[in-house]
Structure 1
């Protein structure tokens, strides 16, 4: 048992590096051999942690999800429900991408494009993470509507779809064109869209 905390720390460090690599090169670009060479450890040692490339990929998705939770979701949940929480979710996401918490931008944006049409356990894990995020944004928008901060005719699914599209476009444009202005454009688009959907009382406050 004395070695367990050290083993857990080592596993976490390995997976955090794996997530960084996958954010740039995709999960298919990740292998036990490459990770071992990158970290300067033996392949047999890493194989003992994961056993197969697929298990490594699945564990990498889980560690990336925990980083996403810490960077994007938990700080927003500390804000009371309403428009403030919607804005904080969007701000946190843009900051997470802009600061390159993962060097390839949003980890899940990268791996979703890689696995969206490929069946299997890895695709299922990526899809589940994306569905959880969409549901959270939709639920957060719906809370703001129920609190009277968004107009009654606001469709939470539609507004969430639009907000996520602004976020992902900023991530993609910033990466492809090395354009930091994309994040400011996304912030402006989100501010304008929420202002258009806000009730008069929410706009005044």
Structure 2
């Protein structure tokens, strides 16, 4: 096998492991994800599963990063050509709720579940998750502020609106995943648009 093919095969193996880790982590939690379970599921040795990452912790981090990329591809990347403003924020909310309603993860929103799981567990994984969530909050507050500039006032502080939107999304995730409520997405969309000062 040539070095190029060997590198490509290693990358495919790494991607396959990460995808399996994301799915298992969604169902079992990141802390509940074991190398043995992954190895059995993938038909690999434990050393083969951990090898591309160096450690279980780095594997878990790779799963977290991949889950965030999946969220971004579904919710924020489709907006990249839209100028900041009310329409963009409305579409962000619609995409966000759509992601929750038809979630690619069997356990619902990965970051929401990981936040509940890791909030009281110090360590590098929690620190990285905290960085991700803080960055997402700042970006959301900036979207809200840009939308408010195009809407009649007065307005609540953008950071407060962002907190409200995150809270509503977490409630929607629970109603969709735990309660199986088919009316939850429409209700969440309406509530989030109202909180943002947008038309229903």
Tell me if both proteins adopt one fold, taking TM over 0.5 as the criterion.
Answer: yes
Moved over 6 A (4+): none
Q: Report the CA distance shift for 1:20/1:132 in structure 2 as closer, same or farther (over 3 A).
A: same
Q: Is the 8 A contact 1:23 1:107 kept in 2?
A: yes
Match of 2:132 among 120, 129, 132: 129
- Partner secondary structure for residue 107 of structure 2: coil
Aligned to 1:164: 166
TM-align CA RMSD: 1.6
Give the length in aligned residue pairs. 196
- Compare the two structures and name the one with the higher helix fraction: 1
Q: TM-score, normalised by structure 2?
A: 0.91
Match of 1:187 among 176, 186, 189: 189
- Partner secondary structure for residue 38 of structure 2: helix
Aligned to 1:28: 31
Aligned to 1:117: 120
Q: Is the 8 A contact 2:35 2:50 kept in 1?
A: yes
CA shift, 1:137, in A, is 0.8
Q: After the TM superposition, which residues 1-12 of structure 1 pair with which residues of structure 2 at under 5 Å, given as runs?
A: 1-2=3-4, 3-12=6-15
Q: Is the 8 A contact 1:81 1:143 kept in 2?
A: yes
Superposed CA offset, 1:83-141 (max 9, x none): 11111221111111211211111000111000001111010111111111111110001
